[in-house]
Amino acid sequence: MKFIVSRTRVPLWSKEKPCDEAVEEELTPLDYRMVPSIEEAKKKIWFKEWWEGGVNHREENGMIVCEKKQKEKNWVVEINTLEDLIKFQEKYGEIMILDSPPYKEVKKEIRILRAK
């Protein structure tokens, strides 16, 4: 399973990997809007931008969503077993698992709180 990986502090002055295993990947952001149907969305100010900026527009869980054409780069790590996750935690110290910003390829994020 792929996770976005980040640290609580972002190095703005240099482009450092958050961890050794991290790989930079282009991810597809999902653009959710809080309206129940595409018909309803047509009346909204943002509809044109939303429609033209994405593909595969659909209704999902009472919202509408599309996959954005513009990809975003993110640091990603692949962890497939609980043992791998424990090893990762032992190597990097305290970590937090949270919902990532919505992407097609990745749903969860690991944040390294305090590196060892």
Partner 1 sequence: MSEKKNPVATEAEVTTFSQTWLSSLLEFLSGTKAFYFLVGLSALVVLLAAMFGVNAMHIGFRHAYGVYREIPWGLLISGYVFFVVTSTGLCIVSSIGHVFGVKSFIPIAKRSVYLSVVTIVAGFMVIFFDVENPFRLPIWNTLSPNFTSNIWWMGTLYGAYLFFMTLEFILLLLEKHRYAMLSGLLGLISGVAAHSNLGAVFGMLHGREFWYGPYMPIYFIASAAASGCTAIIFFTYLGYKITGERMDRAMEMSLQAVGKIWALFLAVLMFFTTWKLITGLAGGEGKVLAIKELLAGKYALNFWLFEVGFGLLIPFFLLLLSGFRNLNQMFAASVFAFIGIFFMRVDLVVVGQIVSHFFEYKVTDFPVLLKYSPSIYEIMVVVGATAFCIMAFLIGEKVFKGHKTEIH
Q: 19 is written with which tokens?
A: 């961890």
d(CA 18, CA 8): 10
User: With respect to partner 1, which residue has the nearer C-beta, 46 or 81?
Assistant: 46
Q: In whole angstroms, how close is the CB of 84 to partner 1 at the nearest point?
A: 22
CB 97 within 8 A of CB 89: no
User: With respect to partner 1, which residue has the nearer C-beta, 28 or 100?
Assistant: 100
Q: In whole angstroms, how close is the CB of 76 to partner 1 at the nearest point?
A: 10
- Enumerate the β-bridge partners of residue 77: 3
Burial 8-22 (b: 16+ CB within 10 A, else e): eeeeeeeeeebbebb
Q: In whole angstroms, how close is the CB of 88 to partner 1 at the nearest point?
A: 18
User: With respect to partner 1, which residue has the nearer C-beta, 10 or 83?
Assistant: 10
Residue in the block written with tokens 């450092």: 16
User: With respect to partner 1, which residue has the nearer C-beta, 86 or 93?
Assistant: 93
d(CA 83, CA 17): 22
Q: In whole angstroms, how close is the CB of 14 to partner 1 at the nearest point?
A: 8
Q: Interface with partner 1 by CB under 8 A: which residues?
A: 4, 6-14, 31-35, 41, 43-46, 48-49, 63, 72-75, 98-102, 109, 111
